[in-house]
C-alpha cells in the first residue's frame, strides 16, 4: 500500500516511525549511553535502510539518512532562527506549488539556450512562450540575440517570477512575464511554445497544444516526451543532464 503513496508521504511516515522507534529504545533501556548526535545517526541509518529496502529513489534515501542528524548538528550550531525562517520562506516561494504542479524549478542549460538560438527564425517576426519560465534566464538570453522575436514567460512561483521580472527590465519591449498557471493561458498567439516541465503534465500539455496552437506552430519540450506521440525532430545536447530537445509541428 505504501508503494502507491506520494514519495514525500512515505518519507514522512518513515521519519516519524524511525524517530518513535529510536525514542522508545532510548527510554526502555539504561545500559547503552550515547550522545544525542549518536542517537540521531542511529535514526538516520534506520530511516536510510528502510528507504533503501522500499526502493525509494536514491536522493530520497540520502535525505532520509541525513535529515535528523543534520537537524541535530544545525541546532547545536545555535544559528539564529530568523535564518531558518527566511530560508523556509524562500523555499516556499520557489517550491510551494510543486506539490500541486509536480514541476519543480530547475534551469535550462547553456547548450539548450544555444540550440534554441539556432532553431528560432533569424529574420521573420515570431512569438515565443516559455511555459513555466523560472527565473527568466532563457527568455532574456534569447531576447538579446533575436531582436525580431517577442518573448513571453508564464510563471506561477512568486520568487522566480519576481527575479524574472527584474531581469527582464532591460528587455521589457520584447520580453514579458506573466504570473499564473500556463493552463489558464491561450496558446494560439504563439509561434513557438517551449516547455521544460516534468513527465507528469506532458499528456495534458499535448491536448492543450492540439486544441489551441495554430497549424504550423512549434511545440518544443526539453527532456520530457509526450507519451505515444513521436516528435518530428529530436536534438541531443551534450550538457550535464544529457538534455534532449523534442520538437512537434502542430
Ligand atoms: C523546470 S523549470 C523550467 C524553468 C525555465 N523554463 C527554464 O527552462 O530554465 C519549470 C518551471 O515551471 C514552473 N511551473 C510549473 N507548473 C507551472 C504552471 N502550471 N504554470 C506556470 N508555471 C509553472 C515552476 O515553478 C518552474 O519554475
- The confidence score (pLDDT) of residue 38 equals 87
H/E stretch holding 178? strand 175-179
* Closest C-alpha to ligand 1, atom 14: 132
Give residue 52 CA to ligand 1 midpoint distance, Å.
Answer: 30
Query: Residue 68, SS3?
Result: helix
> In this structure, what is the dihedral angle of CA atoms 71, 93, 190, 232, given to the nearest 10 degrees?
10
Q: Which atom of ligand 1 is nearest to the CA of 95?
A: 25
What local confidence, expressed as pLDDT, does residue 76 receive?
87
* Per-residue pLDDT, 112: 95
**Ligand 1 centre and the CA of 85: distance in Å?**
24
Q: Are 142 and 151 in contact (CB under 8 A)?
A: yes
Residue of minimum CA distance from atom 26 in ligand 1: 105
Question: Helices marked H in the chain — which ranges?
Answer: 7-28, 36-53, 58-76, 81-95, 98-101, 110-119, 137-145, 158-167, 202-212
Q: Return the DSSP state at 242.
A: -
pLDDT at residue 2, as a whole number: 53
How far apart CA 177 and CA 139 sit, in angstroms, is: 9
* Model pLDDT for residues 205-220, shown as the tens digit of each residue: 999 999 999 999 999 9
Ligand 1 close to Cβ of residue 157 (< 6 A): yes
- C-alpha 72/C-alpha 76 separation (Å) is 6
Q: Are 176 and 129 in contact (CB under 8 A)?
A: no
Quick one: which of 87, 21, 81 has its CA closest to 50? 21
Instruction: Summarize the chain as % helix, strand, coil (round to 5).
Output: 50, 15, 35
What backbone torsions phi and psi does residue 159 show, to the nearest 5 degrees?
-70, -50
CA 219 to ligand 1 center in whole angstroms: 16
Which atom of ligand 1 lies nearest, measured to the CA of 101? Answer: 16
Report residues of the chain scoring pLDDT below 50: 1
Amino acid at each position: 500500500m505504501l508503494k502507491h503513496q506520494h514519495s514525500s508521504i512515505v518519507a514522512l511516515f518513515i521519519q516519524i516511525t524511525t524517530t518513535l522507534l529510536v525514542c522508545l529504545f532510548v527510554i526502555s533501556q539504561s545500559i547503552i549511553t550515547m550522545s544525542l548526535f549518536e542517537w540521531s545517526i542511529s535514526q538516520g541509518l534506520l530511516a536510510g535502510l528502510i528507504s533503501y529496502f522500499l526502493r525509494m529513489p536514491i536522493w530520497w534515501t540520502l535525505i532520509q539518512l541525513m535529515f535528523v542528524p543534520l537537524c541535530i548538528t544545525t541546532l547545536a550550531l545555535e544559528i539564529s532562527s530568523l535564518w531558518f525562517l527566511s530560508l523556509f520562506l524562500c523555499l516556499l516561494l520557489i517550491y510551494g506549488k510543486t506539490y500541486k504542479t509536480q514541476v519543480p524549478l530547475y534551469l535550462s542549460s547553456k547548450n539548450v539556450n544555444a540550440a534554441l538560438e539556432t532553431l528560432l527564425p533569424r529574420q521573420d517576426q515570431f512569438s515565443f512562450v516559455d511555459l513555466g519560465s523560472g527565473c527568466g534566464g532563457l527568455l532574456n538570453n534569447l531576447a538579446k540575440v533575436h531582436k525580431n522575436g517577442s518573448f513571453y514567460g508564464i510563471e506561477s512561483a512568486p520568487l522566480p517570477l519576481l527575479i524574472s521580472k527584474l531581469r527582464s527590465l532591460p528587455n521589457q519591449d520584447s520580453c514579458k512575464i506573466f504570473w499564473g498557471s500556463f493552463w489558464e493561458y491561450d496558446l494560439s498567439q504563439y509561434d513557438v511554445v517551449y516547455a521544460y516541465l516534468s513527465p507528469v503534465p506532458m499528456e495534458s500539455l499535448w491536448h492543450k497544444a492540439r486544441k489551441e496552437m495554430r497549424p504550423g506552430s512549434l511545440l518544443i519540450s526539453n527532456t520530457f516526451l509526450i507519451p505515444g506521440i513521436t516528435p518530428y525532430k529530436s536534438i541531443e545536447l551534450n550538457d550535464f543532464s544529457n538534455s534532449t530537445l523534442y520538437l512537434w509541428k502542430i
